[in-house]
Structure 1
Amino acid sequence: MSSELDCVEQFDVVPLSNKVGQGETASVPEALKVPLFGALFVSNDETSPQTYAILDAAKVIGLPELLASSGLEHRCFYKGNMLDELGDVAPWIVRLEAENRLTRNLFTQGDAPWHLWDKEAGIFLRSSQSLVTLWRHFRKFTKVQNSLGDSVYFRFWEPHVAQAYLSVGGRDALGSPSFFHNSNGKIVDAVICCGTQDVSTVHYAPEASPEMGYKLTPAQERALIQGEERRRRADIATALRRCFPDQTEDMAQDQLIDIVGRVSLRMGAYGIRQVRNIHVLASWQLFYGDLFERRDPNGNLYNICRSELGEDAKLVQMQSRMDALHSAGVI
């Protein structure tokens, strides 16, 4: 599939349907068969690394119970009192088996609570190490240092977070080797990130480097911020499609995301940044076109944008003015 010189591969994934046809036995999408359960490298070694997932109980209702009934080896990143108090919202690691029902449900799109594709429940790992070894290793990443030396929580099990973190290359990727290696060498061969809004990726272990600790570099912090913004825009675009199916039917997702991005940049300059407000403003742009705030003949909309009002107060006044303009047939 890849040589060890290739660091990242990108591919599109079509999730499994919740309607299983007669004789259909696939437990993972076609594009993921090799990354998840096949041979990663051309080698004389006939054994393939095992497959693990780090899943977010905050995204999957009843995840501890699902894992307990799956028959799969698993463990929560928290222990003791924290496990008792936070196990229902904590990250868990599980060793997957190709034919297990939970494995199939992770890649199935549907409305049932056990169809987990749309929840983006976590990331996937290929490793020859034991679950306990990986558990000990990745627990260290739940809290890391930022570039200023402050301790911050690091939700690396979210696909878009892992993608942003692992995609920083060159000398700026100081923390990434530690993600794949411990003091004894490489323990993770690859990390697979599958997202409903982004292209899916396989990140292969880089060359070993001296121990750098668990500290984010400035480049990684910038990448994480940009990744969060891309994800926010994609989520708003998806919400627009859900709210206005007729108006968005012929629009590609990238086109919708571009609309949201233009609105976010423009309105951010006026101090309007909250998701719910950007959603409203993006819907106006969808209906009334680019630079809708400049189409008020009296300039009231533009003046509201530039005023010293708070963000929510601006939206209230803009909504009132848009209603008046719409009623008058001006916009």
Structure 2
Amino acid sequence: MPIEPHADIWALSSLDFDAASEGVPNMKVLQVGPSTQMNDTLAAPVLTDLLFNQNDNPLRTYLLVDPTLRKQVTELFDLDAIDVPITCLFNGAAAEEQQEVAPYLIDMTFDEESPSLFHRDFFANHWGQGTGIFLRSPASLEELKKHFRRFTKLKRTQDDGWYFFRFWDPAIASVYFRTIADSQLRAAQWFGRDLIECFVVGEEQGKAAVVFDGGARNGFNWNAPIPPVVLTDRELAPFRKTALDRDIEKIAHLLKQDFEVELKAHTPEAVVRRIRPALARFMRFGFRRREHLHVIAAWAVFFGPEFDEKDPQGRLQAICTSQDNEGARFRALKERMAQLGRPEAAA
């Protein structure tokens, strides 16, 4: 299976959100308190006020939910039997065929005197579990569906391919909205002029709620055309780093298992430090397959992170930079390592 950290923008691990929040404009973090503060009526007062207050500007409250993440809590797909208005962001055959994995938009606006069963269940069992993100808007369910459908598949600046962008996943939203918080254009594209007041994302297992208000749109020239979103290198950079870190940690863990005796004295962190430079370099050469990177990492552990630079005839590096496909180059690497008297550490 190939590792694609540059495209794996929907499968990232957590970032240091406290550090990532420092100096971020148009964003605030509210401490909600532990889930034990959720009361029988609905949620902690801070969260209830954030999500449902009306004040002088009546707004509706919506939840963008990921059914695959929700099923980690419910253990079954249940969005076809809830007692609040709901719509799938996909249409037609795609909505039917991908019913249990497609994103959904739920109208969570409620009567304070009689919150729905879905409300009670969500705040009792799902808040803090990372199953979706909230937003507040004066728009209708259908208006917002039309708006969000344009973001489910996005292009990147470096190619013409379309990419499935899981912005409704809290782990994605937390990173992405921080990254674009200072962009007038992105604020205009995502929030609209008066369409969305804010997005609310739960963090720290529900102990904090992060509010992205799209304030950068206030300086946008609304007479100018608004182009579609095309993901830039800057926007993808946090995801690339995190996905690569995750994959390197997995390989280090497997090496510890494969070479339990040889690596007994080495911590997983030490193995990561040793294999990271080699894996990063070989991935720049175009090596992506997990089984190939696993062997390359083993070579780095036992023969040094720069093992490919130690070939007296320079053949290893010549193989890496050749125009052959990955499979052919990897076979050539194995043959050359054997010739140098360095049998592959794993196969």
- TM class by shorter chain equals 0.5 to 0.7
Match of 2:309 in 1: 294
Match of 1:189 in 2: 198
Which is higher, the Rg of structure 1 or of structure 2?
2
- Identify which of 213, 222, 230 aligns with 2:226: 213
Give me the CA root mean square deviation.
5.2
> TM-score if structure 2 supplies the norm length?
0.59
- 1:309 deviates by 3.2
Q: Is 1:233 matched up with 2:241?
A: no
Summarize deviations over 1:296-317 as a string: whole Å, max 9, x none.
5665533432444321222223
- Consecutive unaligned residues of structure 1, counting only runs of 5 or more, are 17-23, 109-116
Match of 1:140 in 2: 150
After superposition, the Cα gap between the structure-2 partners of 1:259 and 1:169, relative to the gap in structure 1 and judged at 3 Å, is farther
Larger deviation, residues 152-161 vs 77-86: 152-161
Partners of 1:279 and 1:56 lie apart in 2 by 33
Q: Is 1:311 matched up with 2:326?
A: yes
Partners of 1:216 and 1:48 lie apart in 2 by 26
- 1:179 deviates by 0.9
User: Helix, strand or coil: the match of 2:135?
Assistant: strand
- 1:158 deviates by 4.6
User: Helix, strand or coil: the match of 1:251?
Assistant: helix
Partners of 2:291 and 2:29 lie apart in 1 by 31
Partners of 1:317 and 1:195 lie apart in 2 by 47
How do 1:150-299 residues align onto structure 2 when only pairs under 5 Å count?
152=162, 155=165, 156-158=167-169, 162=173, 163-164=175-176, 167-168=179-180, 170=182, 173-182=184-193, 185-192=194-201, 202-206=211-215, 207-208=217-218, 209=220, 210=222, 212-216=225-229, 220-243=231-254, 244=256, 249=267, 251=269, 256=272, 262-274=277-289, 277-296=292-311, 299=314
- 1:187 deviates by 1.9
Partners of 1:231 and 1:91 lie apart in 2 by 23
Contact 1:175–1:216 (CA<8 Å) still a contact in 2? yes
- Identify which of 76, 84, 91 aligns with 2:96: 84
Summarize deviations over 1:110-133 as a string: whole Å, max 9, x none.
xxxxxxx6xxx5x51231545444
After superposition, the Cα gap between the structure-2 partners of 1:48 and 1:261, relative to the gap in structure 1 and judged at 3 Å, is farther
Summarize deviations over 1:128-185 as a string: whole Å, max 9, x none.
5454443232123335676699794551335565433651354x55133221125xx1
Partners of 2:158 and 2:246 lie apart in 1 by 30
Partners of 2:44 and 2:276 lie apart in 1 by 34
After superposition, the Cα gap between the structure-2 partners of 1:148 and 1:101, relative to the gap in structure 1 and judged at 3 Å, is closer
- Identify which of 84, 104, 124 aligns with 2:125: 104
Contact 1:301–1:321 (CA<8 Å) still a contact in 2? yes
Match of 1:7 in 2: 26
- Identify which of 45, 53, 57 aligns with 2:64: 53
- 1:188 deviates by 3.5
Partners of 2:210 and 2:301 lie apart in 1 by 31
- 1:271 deviates by 3.4
Structure number with greater CO (CA < 8 Å, separation at least 6) is 2
> TM-score if structure 1 supplies the norm length?
0.62
- Identify which of 87, 97, 102 aligns with 1:75: 87
Summarize deviations over 1:177-216 as a string: whole Å, max 9, x none.
221125xx142412427699xxx96533224432743523
Contact 1:191–1:202 (CA<8 Å) still a contact in 2? yes
Q: Give % identity.
A: 20
Match of 2:77 in 1: 65
- Consecutive unaligned residues of structure 2, counting only runs of 5 or more, are 1-20, 109-117
After superposition, the Cα gap between the structure-2 partners of 1:36 and 1:150, relative to the gap in structure 1 and judged at 3 Å, is farther
Contact 1:304–1:318 (CA<8 Å) still a contact in 2? yes
Contact 2:60–2:107 (CA<8 Å) still a contact in 1? no
Contact 2:128–2:203 (CA<8 Å) still a contact in 1? no
After superposition, the Cα gap between the structure-2 partners of 1:249 and 1:264, relative to the gap in structure 1 and judged at 3 Å, is closer
